[in-house]
Amino acid sequence: MPNIKNSITEERTRVSPKTLYRLLVYQRILNKFFLNDLETVRSAALAKASGVKPEQLRKDLALFGQVGTRGLGYPVKELMDVIRAFLGKTDLQPVILIGTGNLGSALLKYGGFKRAGFDLVAAFDVQKGGQSKDVLPMSELQGYIEEHSIELAVLCVPQDAAQEVADELISYGITGLLNFTSMVLQVPSNISVNNVDLALELENLSFFVSQQNGIPS
């Protein structure tokens, strides 16, 4: 019986979004530990830094078979490698952005995507007003996506245009949308959408805060 499962690609299907988020977090923390020359880490420490319970961390890592050493902990470098192998994709992936309003043009400047392995290679808008990167007109959208085989798009257009632009993107071959609009997009089941609704997050936060304090006003 093999220890570390070697048919990782076969396992890729069996993970929930929640677990995946956690794996990505573990990866980050591990990288930090690695840069600090840590060689092994116990589940308690890694879990605390990741904001989860140790049991949950261990359950998550069980996906990869046995990677830790009982009585000792997990080898930092090896664990990093195993998670990275599972996640696949290592090289820089091209992403386009649609809608260069306030939020859109800020995201173009935001360095975090590049650090995570994504390259915002082009931006599109109905208005071709010059921002920091060249903004292309929507008429070039289809050509660009097809020519560069783009899969992922960041959607920052106004609410009213959201569904329409999403439909367009999908028809040109985009299969993953990071949706910054506050619209709920209707898409075919083979298309992935992740919603980032900033106002919603603040509303949600506000509710739980006022709950803690006792009801205000």
* Residues at the site binding a copy of itself, with contacts judged by CB under 8 A: 9, 12-13, 17, 20-21, 24-25, 28-29, 48-51, 87-89, 91, 93, 95, 102-103, 105-107, 109-113, 115-118, 151-152, 154, 175-178, 182, 184, 186, 190, 192-194, 196, 198-213, 215-217
Structure tokens at 32: 């930090």
In the block, tokens 């995201």 appear at 107
Structure tokens at 116: 């995570």
Minimum CB separation from DNA for residue 88, in Å? 20
Task: Write the CA distances from 139 to 75, 145, 154, 167, integer angstroms.
Answer: 51, 11, 17, 15
H-assigned helices in 12-123: 17-35, 43-50, 54-61, 76-87, 102-109, 112-115
Q: What angle, 0 to 180 degrees and rounded to 10, lies between the N-to-C axes of helices 17-35 and 76-87?
A: 140
Q: Which is nearer to a copy of itself, 139 or 194 (CB)?
A: 194
Residues that bind DNA (CB under 7 A): 16, 18-19, 42-44, 52-56, 58-59, 61-62, 65-74
Give the one entry of a copy of itself, DNA, none that residue 9 binds, where binding means its C-beta sits below a cut-off of 5 to 8 angstroms depending on kind: a copy of itself
Give the one entry of DNA, a copy of itself, none that residue 167 binds, where binding means its C-beta sits below a cut-off of 5 to 8 angstroms depending on kind: none
**Positive or negative torsion for Cα 79, 82, 86, 90:** positive
Give the one entry of a copy of itself, DNA, none that residue 4 binds, where binding means its C-beta sits below a cut-off of 5 to 8 angstroms depending on kind: none
Minimum CB separation from DNA for residue 191, in Å? 18
Q: Parallel, antiparallel, or unpaired: how do β-strands 40-41 and 74-75 relate?
A: antiparallel
Give the one entry of DNA, a copy of itself, none that residue 188 binds, where binding means its C-beta sits below a cut-off of 5 to 8 angstroms depending on kind: none
Minimum CB separation from a copy of itself for residue 139, in Å? 25
